């Protein structure tokens, strides 16, 4: 017999309270004087015996009522025992997380191979007709395990053969909940769970999610698979840093691969990279103990559309945390709209598009008299003068919407003779203005301001040290800036000549320097050319395409699109899936996948979990994830006899409902006996009153005669 709440059994002595009350509160005998007992001799003595029997039955019913209430609340369960093979329902949980790809302490096999062999021997030890199931700690659509208990042993054994290594962190709490739910769905509402795992701390330790069992009908056996000694060095991929600007044809970009040395020794590793065009590269890297470093992976897109690259680390002792898949979207050619005449902008059009066709930079230039464009040819950058911005009028509102939607604007002084910026009135939403032009024959050296600004960080990824080349300015218009604008360049440190303002999703660059050698040496330097091109591609993609970064084993938590979604594999596991976005499967391995929801497309980049390289495992006989659920930890043995764990446990019947039915019957009997007692008490009360009256009438004459006799 098993009790779900055995603590209530300690209250069973309270069932004796009716007996105590009966002994304490029973009526005391009273002496009454009667002249004759002739009327009492006529009473049938059997009536008194029946009354006593009824009283004891009523007392027994009340004792049973209290006892049955306590038993029902303790949730009793009866478990039968038949034979030695047993037919108890069983679920095998296989830990297929990344840490299981390491070698076991048994020798050459990996821990995952040991888990598969143990589960295979466990299933083979069951009698024919026994219901069983397999659950994985990392969901993997390639395995396709049955969703319910089944007696088809061959199907389960085939599922075991299909289990492959992953690069994800398992969810032990989800796997246990699924296993317990399968067993509770059976008629016996119980069974046995066998877990084959290395019990890594990140999944089963104190900081992992807890699983709270709702009853004690399921016992869990955890077969701990030992791990071979920790490798000397281990380097894990911890993050992927994507470019923070638009990706156009021919533009060079860098992807940052963040690595961490988890060892106490120097790690000499190689970082390999391959893209969708088959181009490969290798970098040698030395990481000191516990050092974190970022490797730059250069890439250039030559075709419009989605692209991918795969990066992985070689040379350490653990491979399941070494890989990252990265997806990128190339928008093709970008258009730069110049609002004004070409001679107003000096060398700026040539810096943005040296060849005229966009082959070198992915940018083509177009000139228009004013700030306007069609819906099908939205520019990536609008270049205008301070005078043109002031004359925009009603188009200023359209310009603001363009910037808020992700567009970029560059405002520069005009090179036309007689252009005066001192009276320029800029739109209110911009808030900036310029002062009259200042000229210095010998020039003033430009100073970098706010070097930690994102714009300069992106520049350093391309040109390295941005302060290596000195720049001199001969003429400039100082800027008057409101709050929220970041100064980038200054003539000295007090007069600002270049600034950046973020407006929602877009960017506005304000310049007090014209792009002409007469104004400064900036147009003749490589820094000036790269600065102009970075302004054009600043911000994110403007066509709704997005990159979603995940760690292996995760599924998108807040999917930006609604409705039906279709998945297609670009790199990694072959995957074709279509269904509601809320049911999107997790990604157990690294790769790049294209998700389409209506007219929107998203590129999903998956990297390996850095947690799987942590060599920390649960020790002792208590597993924190299982909390108070009954469980036993057993060292894994390749030749173990698994029949000992499920022998003699065939069925479990919950007695909660039968106990409540019996309690209902006892309550009814107690009510009938109590009603009979009340009726009998009323009859006795009336008889007592009658006898008292008779005795009074008989006693009065006798008393009178007695008094007369004494007088005489």
Residues 377 and 472 placed together within one structural domain of the fold: yes
Q: Which residue has the higher pLDDT, 621 or 189?
A: 621
- Report d(CA 618, CA 624) in Å as an integer: 8
**Helix H segments across 420-525?**
454-463
**Per-residue pLDDT tens for 242-256?**
887 888 888 778 899
Q: Looking at residue 539, what is its pLDDT?
A: 76
Domain range for residue 674? 2-79+656-684
Mean pLDDT of 127-138: 90
Assess whether 455 and 407 both reside in one domain: yes
Q: Quick check: 544 pLDDT over 50?
A: no
pLDDT at res. 420: 65
Give the side-chain half-sphere CA count within 13 A for 670: 15
Residues 162, 143 contacting (CB under 8 angstroms): yes
Lowest mean pLDDT among 211-215, 277-281, 386-390: 211-215
Are 176 and 95 contacting, i.e. CB atoms less than 8 angstroms apart?
no
| Same domain, residue pair 346 and 247 | no
CATH for 645 = 3.40.50.410
Q: What is the pLDDT of residue 479?
A: 93
**Is the pLDDT assigned to residue 345 strictly greater than 90?**
yes
What's the CA angle centered on 387, arms 382 and 390, to 5 degrees?
A: 85
Q: Decide if 138 contacts 553 (C-beta within 8 A).
A: yes
Question: Residue 512 — very low, low, confident or very high, per pLDDT cuts 50/70/90?
Answer: very high
Does 462 lie in the same domain as 392? yes
Give me the chain's average pLDDT, please.
Answer: 83
Rounded distance, CA 233 to CA 101, Å?
16
Q: How confident is the model at residue 99 (pLDDT cuts 50, 70, 90)?
A: very high
pLDDT at 51 over 60: yes
Q: What is the dihedral of CA 32, 38, 39, 45, to 10 degrees?
A: 90
Same domain? 522 vs 385: yes
Residues 667 and 527: their CA atoms lie apart, in Å, by 94
Does the residue 702 lie in any domain? no
Q: What is the pLDDT of residues 282-293, one digit of tens each?
A: 999 999 999 999
Share of the chain above pLDDT 70, in %: 83
Q: What is the mean pLDDT of residues 505-513?
A: 93
Say yes or no to pLDDT of 129 above 90.
no
Instruction: Tally the domains of the chain.
Output: 4
Instruction: Specify burial of residue 244 (Cβ count, 10 A radius: 0-12, 13-18, 19+).
Output: middle
Regarding whether 113 and 193 lie in a shared domain, the answer is: yes
Confidence of residue 424 (pLDDT cuts 50, 70, 90): low
Please report the pLDDT score of residue 712 as a whole number: 47
Residue 29: pLDDT over 60: no
Residue bearing the bigger pLDDT, 694 or 23: 23
Strands 546-551 and 381-385: unpaired
Report how far residue 99's alpha carbon sits from residue 234's, in angstroms, rounded to the nearest whole number: 12
Please tell me the predicted confidence (pLDDT) of residue 423.
56
According to the model, what pLDDT value does residue 86 have? 42
Q: How confident is the model at residue 300 (pLDDT cuts 50, 70, 90)?
A: confident
Q: Which of 536, 552, 577 is the last residue of a domain?
A: 536
Q: Say yes or no to pLDDT of 23 above 50.
A: yes
| pLDDT at site 701 | 57
431 vs 389: CA distance, rounded Å: 12
- 369 and 481 in a single domain? The answer is yes
Is pLDDT above 60 for 705? no
Mark which of 589, 613, 637 sits at the end of a domain.
613
Q: Are residues 60 and 188 in the same domain?
A: no
475 three-class SS: strand
Residue 708 lies in a domain: no
Residue 295 pLDDT greater than 90, yes or no: yes
Q: What percent of the chain has pLDDT over 90?
A: 41
pLDDT tens readout for residues 583-603: 888 999 999 999 988 888 889
Q: Return the pLDDT at 228.
A: 87
SS3 call for 364: strand
Strands 334-339 and 438-448: unpaired
Q: What would the mean pLDDT of 281-310 be, rounded to a whole number?
A: 92
pLDDT at residue 153 tops 60: yes
Note whether residue 692 is domain-resident.
Answer: no
| Interval 101-125: pLDDT, tens | 999 987 778 999 999 999 999 998 8
Residue 65's nearest CA partner among 17, 134, 125 is 17
Q: Is the pLDDT of residue 85 over 50?
A: no
H or E stretch covering 702: helix 656-711
Question: What does the DSSP 8-state code read for residue 58?
Answer: H
Of the candidates 624, 650, 676, which is a domain's last residue? 650
What is the pTM for the complete model shown? 0.72
Average pLDDT over residues 523-548: 79
Residue 493 has a pLDDT of 78
For 278-282, 380-384, 555-559, which range has the lowest pLDDT when averaged over its residues?
A: 555-559
**What SS3 string covers 595-619?**
EEECCEEEEEEEECCHHHHCCCECC
Which residue is associated with the tokens 């208990």? 149
Q: Are 323 and 236 in contact (CB under 8 A)?
A: no
- What's the mean pLDDT in 649-674? 74
Q: How far, rounded to the nearest angstrom, does the alpha carbon of residue 676 sit from its chain's CA centroid?
A: 65
| 301 in a structural domain | yes
Residue 348 counted as domain residue: yes
d(CA 111, CA 636): 10
């Amino acid at each position: 017999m098993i009790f779900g709440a055995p603590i209530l059994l300690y209250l069973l002595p309270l069932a004796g309270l009716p007996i105590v009350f009966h002994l304490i509160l029973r009526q005391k005998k009273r002496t009454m004087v009667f002249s004759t007992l002739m009327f009492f001799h006529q009473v049938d003595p059997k009536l008194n015996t029946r009354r006593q029997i009824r009283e004891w039955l009523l007392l027994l019913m009340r004792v049973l009522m209290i006892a049955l209430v306590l038993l029902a609340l303790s949730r009793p369960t009866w478990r039968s025992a038949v034979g030695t093979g047993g037919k108890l329902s069983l679920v095998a949980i296989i830990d297929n997380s990344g840490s299981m790809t390491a070698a076991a302490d048994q020798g050459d096999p990996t821990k995952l191979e040991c888990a598969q062999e143990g589960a295979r021997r466990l299933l083979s030890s069951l009698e024919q007709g026994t219901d069983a199931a397999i659950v994985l700690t990392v969901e993997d659509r390639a395995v396709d395990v049955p969703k319910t208990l089944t007696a088809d042993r061959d199907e389960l054994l085939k599922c075991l053969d299909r289990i492959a290594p992953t690069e994800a962190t398992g969810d032990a709490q989800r796997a246990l909940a699924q296993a317990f739910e399968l067993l509770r769905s059976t008629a016996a509402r119980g069974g046995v769970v066998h877990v084959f795992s290395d019990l890594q701390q990140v999944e089963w330790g104190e900081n992992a999610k807890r699983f709270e069992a709702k009853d004690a009908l399921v016992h869990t056996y955890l077969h701990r698979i030992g791990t071979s000694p920790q490798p000397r060095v281990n380097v894990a991929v911890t993050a992927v840093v994507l470019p923070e600007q638009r990706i156009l044809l021919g533009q060079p970009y860098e992807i940052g691969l963040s690595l961490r040395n988890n060892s106490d020794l120097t790690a000499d590793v190689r970082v390999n990279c391959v893209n969708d065009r088959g181009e490969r590269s290798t970098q040698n890297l030395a990481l000191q103990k516990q050092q974190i470093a970022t490797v730059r992976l250069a890439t250039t897109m030559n075709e419009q559309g989605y692209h991918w690259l795969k990066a992985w680390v070689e040379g350490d002792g653990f491979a399941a945390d070494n890989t990252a898949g990265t997806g990128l979207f190339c928008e093709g050619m970008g258009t730069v709209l110049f609002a004004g005449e070409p001679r107003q902008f000096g060398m700026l059009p040539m810096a943005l598009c040296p060849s005229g066709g966009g082959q070198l930079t992915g940018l083509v230039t177009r000139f228009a008299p004013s700030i306007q464009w069609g819906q099908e040819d939205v520019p990536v950058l609008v270049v205008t003068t301070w005078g043109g911005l002031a004359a925009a009028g009603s188009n200023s509102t359209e310009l603001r919407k363009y910037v808020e939607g992700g567009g970029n604007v560059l405002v520069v002084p005009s090179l036309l003779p007689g252009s005066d910026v001192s009276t320029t009135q800029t739109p209110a939403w911009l808030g900036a203005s310029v002062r009259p032009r200042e000229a210095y024959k010998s020039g003033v050296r430009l100073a970098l301001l706010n070097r930690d600004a994102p714009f300069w960080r992106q520049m350093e990824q391309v040109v390295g040290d941005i302060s290596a080349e000195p720049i001199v300015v001969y003429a400039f218009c100082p800027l008057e800036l409101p709050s929220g604008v970041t100064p980038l360049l200054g003539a000295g440190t007090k007069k600002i000549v270049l600034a950046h303002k973020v407006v929602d999703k877009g960017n506005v660059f304000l310049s007090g320097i014209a792009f002409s050698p007469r104004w400064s040496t900036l147009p003749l330097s490589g820094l000036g050319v790269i600065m102009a091109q970075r302004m054009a591609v600043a911000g994110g993609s403007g066509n709704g395409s997005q990159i979603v970064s995940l760690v292996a084993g995760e599924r998108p938590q807040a999917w930006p699109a609604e409705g039906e979604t279709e998945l297609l594999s670009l790199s990694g596991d072959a995957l074709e899936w279509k269904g509601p976005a809320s049911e999107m499967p997790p990604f157990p391995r690294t790769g790049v996948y294209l998700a389409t929801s209506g007219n929107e497309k998203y590129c999903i980049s998956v990297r390996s979990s850095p947690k799987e390289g942590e060599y920390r495992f649960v020790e002792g006989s208590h597993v924190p994830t299982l909390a108070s659920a009954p469980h036993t930890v057993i060292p894994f043995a390749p030749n173990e006899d698994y029949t000992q764990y499920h022998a003699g446990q065939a069925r479990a019947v919950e007695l909660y409902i039968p106990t409540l039915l019996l309690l209902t019957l006892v309550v009814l009997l107690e009510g009938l006996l109590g009603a009979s007692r009340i009726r009998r008490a009323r009859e006795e009360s009336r008889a007592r009153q009658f006898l008292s009256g008779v005795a009074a009438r008989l006693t009065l004459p006798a008393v009178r005669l007695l008094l007369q006799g004494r007088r005489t």
